[in-house]
Amino acid sequence: MVASLQRVRECGRRLILVTGRELDQLLEIFPDAAIFDWVVAENGAVAYCPATREETMLADPRPRTFGATLSRKGGSSSRPGNRTK
């Protein structure tokens, strides 16, 4: 798959990866993320430029109590958009 993406880049197209994963988790499991021009991660909360390793928060972090409240209501306690710099 990475070879196919590289061929797309060689044609002059830009690649953007959009995922709900946390950025740190994505970079750990997909070390070839640098093939993309931009990564939008954490359900749209973070933009990441692999060329410069710059992260930009696109949304305010959720309140610290969000995970506990969600867990009490039977939801997932994953943390998209809960990054702090």
* Terminal Cα distance for the chain, rounded: 32
- Which residues does 22 contact at the CB level (< 8 Å), separation at least 6? 41, 42, 78, 79, 80, 83
Domain 2-72 of CATH type 3.40.50.300 = no
Q: Which pLDDT score, from 0 to 100, does residue 62 have?
A: 75
Reduced to 3 states, what is the DSSP secondary structure of residue 55?
A: strand
Every domain of the chain and the residues it spans: 2-72
pLDDT, tens digit (0-9, with 9 covering 90-100), for 67-81: 788 888 886 655 555
Q: Give the integer Cα–Cα distance in Å for 8 and 12.
A: 7
Q: Confidence band (pLDDT; 50, 70, 90) for 85?
A: very low
Dihedral of CA atoms 64, 67, 70, 72 in degrees, nearest 10, equals -100
Which tens digits make up the pLDDT trace of 5-61?
999 999 999 999 999 999 999 999 999 999 999 999 999 999 999 999 999 999 987
Supply the pTM of this predicted model: 0.72
